[in-house]
Amino acid sequence: MLTRREFIRTAALLALAPHAFGVPEKEIWVNDVHSQLNRTRVRELLRPRTRDELAEIVGSASRKGLPISVSGCRHSMGGQQFATDGVCIDTRELDRVISFDRERGLLEAEAGIQWPKLIRTYLEAQTDGKKQWGIAQKQTGADTFTLGGSLSSNVHGRGLRMKPLISNIESFTLITADGKSIRCSREENSELFRLAIGGYGLFGLVDAVTLRLVPRQKLRRVVEIIRAADLPKRFEERVAQKFLYGDFQFLVDEKSPEFLQRGVFSCYEPISEDEPIVAKKELSDYDWLDLLRLAYTDREKAFKHYSDYYLSTNGQTYWSDTNQLGAYLPNYAQKIHDQIGGDESSLIITEIYVPRADLPDFLTEAADLLRSNRTIAIYGTVRLIEKDDESFLAWAKKNYACIIFNLLTLHTSSGIEASARSFRGLIDLAIARRGSYYLTYHKFAKPEQVIACYPQFKEFLNLKRKYDPSERFQSDWYRYYRMLFAS
């Protein structure tokens, strides 16, 4: 009879080399769920169910000399989750909460857990207590992100006074190329801690994360329509008034003189724990799809509907953690195409960072750029980020304003290049203001733009080879930049 470890190893070997056991080979293709522009052929797609199985798969792939990439829910769209002809590990079945220290607010969970399950699990564990813990932040726009993927991308949410996610990470365990698991924290393997958070899966596979929670609070939403010229001052006022979260969602109708210049400013202030939670109005998936359809076909009307809805929710109350959950339509592009026809298309995101005082001027020039390039923005928002002084490849190098653009992109060579041209133009506008951009939404930036925004990037590539000399952990994103900076 096989021991448990022998059984795990045999199962892993079978998954890695099915043809050796009489299982017919077939081509396996994967893609990102948002832009649908990263269709990639992989050698194997593996779904480990335990951390032991994950370690065995890594060790076996290393012995065979096979490259490994890791993916969660596949929202990333810059190629950092897939490696052509490599072993792709899907972590989503590694989704258990391992421990919850209710005294200190520390929660350890497997890296494949998604935010809704993580939140649901700790809420169920606290039904008997008055003092409750909750997450500080998560990505906005969707909920189906894994914890490990969020760590590897060093994400942020809508916090008005928050650093990226690294500030909420206590520690994590990392599986190295030889299948061993090591603990990384600010005190233990500290350089790997700084590299792997925001390291896009290139330094090993995160298999468990200990997250620092914060006290849950009740919040009131305060909504107004304001102009971009007033935005830096209004953000400052909300921060001074101790509001916790907020953003500005701007008008994307390029025909309007107020394109990118007017928007919905929604912020969330703490309220007494005795106040009831009253959030009667909420957009359904159908409502979001209808708004998205309007954004494709009538952007002025879409903004009117959206702003009217948000104004009608002024004064509603929420919990600080569950308020960060929201709807996402993974097949939105196909649904929109079915409704309005036309060429195949989807949205590509970019995130631009500028000093907060430069925000109005940047938005004015960005509007001119997008108009001149005839680029359609379907959705956009502005948030704040505090300086990240911990991660090695920090994108939040200062207290920035973060501007997110979702650009409509036709799935043709000319359509993709048109979006690329606009993204490069937006990056230049940021660089001119001592700003930056987020590295992995796309690979359109010119080499000089990468170095201007990430002068430590070549050292990052060198450190990757130091910790992973066999380059076991790869991605098409990494291969692209490794070649780009090979000299």
The Cα 420–Cα 396 span in angstroms is 23
In this structure, the strands spanning 87-90 and 44-46 are parallel
Q: What is the pLDDT of residue 178?
A: 85
Q: What is the pLDDT of residue 372?
A: 97
Q: What is the pLDDT of residue 14?
A: 42
Which residue in 13, 91, 83, 72 sits closest to 43, CA to CA?
83
Which residue in 219, 155, 146 sits closest to 404, CA to CA?
155
Give whole-number Cα distances, 247 to 126, 389, 471, in Å: 30, 23, 40
Partner residues linked to 401 by β-bridges: 354, 384
- The structure's pTM equals 0.93
The Cα 130–Cα 126 span in angstroms is 8
Which residue in 440, 446, 401 sits closest to 420, CA to CA?
446
Three-state secondary-structure class, residue 464 = helix
Per-position pLDDT tens, the chain of length 487: 444 444 444 444 444 444 433 344 689 999 999 999 999 999 999 999 999 999 999 999 999 999 999 999 999 999 999 999 999 999 999 999 999 999 999 999 999 999 999 999 999 999 987 789 999 999 988 899 999 999 999 999 999 999 999 999 999 999 999 889 999 999 999 999 999 999 999 999 999 999 999 999 999 999 999 999 999 999 999 999 999 999 999 999 999 999 999 999 999 999 999 999 998 888 888 899 999 999 999 999 999 999 999 999 999 999 999 999 988 888 899 999 999 998 999 999 999 999 999 999 999 999 999 999 999 999 999 999 999 999 999 999 999 999 999 999 999 999 999 999 999 999 999 999 999 999 999 999 999 999 999 999 999 999 999 999 999 999 999 999 999 998 6
CB 351 within 8 A of CB 268: no
* Domains of the chain and any CATH numbers: 4-90 (3.30.43.10), 97-215 (3.30.465.10), 218-320+331-453 (3.30.70.2520)
CB 51 within 8 A of CB 59: no
CB 439 within 8 A of CB 46: no
Q: What is the pLDDT of residue 487?
A: 66
Q: What is the pLDDT of residue 16?
A: 43
CB 147 within 8 A of CB 94: no
Q: What is the pLDDT of residue 228?
A: 98
Which residue in 149, 17, 175, 135 sits closest to 73, CA to CA?
149
Cα angle at 439 between 31 and 486, to 5 degrees? 95
The Cα 143–Cα 298 span in angstroms is 27
Q: What is the pLDDT of residue 12?
A: 44
